[in-house]
Amino acid sequence: MFEGQSQSELDALMKSDPEFRQLYHRHRELDKQVLDAELGVLPLDDTTLGRMKKEKLNAKDRLTRMFATRRH
């Protein structure tokens, strides 16, 4: 998600900001669940999968904004 960004900056933000850390872990959890559903490992209906994808995208957008704001 933060390709091309300094891992040390990301690590520092993860340590210093509990909200960022929690949202980051939630995004990773959703990413795994969506992938599992798309592979057929996790049976989900289309509505639930769509909701999860939307939540994942919202989390990514918010994380990106938080990262950019705290870097400057």
Q: How confident is the model over 53-64, as pLDDT tens digits?
A: 999 999 999 999
The pair of three-digit structure tokens given for residue 72, joined into one six-digit string: 């400057």
What's the domain range around 60? 16-71
pTM (2 d.p.): 0.87
| Maximum Cα–Cα distance across the chain | 42
Q: Are 1 and 27 in contact (CB under 8 A)?
A: yes
Q: How many residues does the chain have?
A: 72
Residue 8 counted as domain residue: no
- Is pLDDT above 80 for 36? yes
Residue 4 counted as domain residue: no
Mean pLDDT, rounded, of the chain = 93
Q: Tell me how crowded residue 24 is: count the other CB atoms within 10 A of its CB.
A: 21
Q: Are 52 and 34 in contact (CB under 8 A)?
A: yes
- Is pLDDT above 80 for 71? no
Q: Identify which of 2-6, 7-11, 34-38 has the greatest average pLDDT.
A: 34-38
Residue 26 counted as domain residue: yes
pLDDT above 90 covers a percentage of the chain that reads: 76
Residue 57 counted as domain residue: yes
- How many domains does the chain divide into? 1
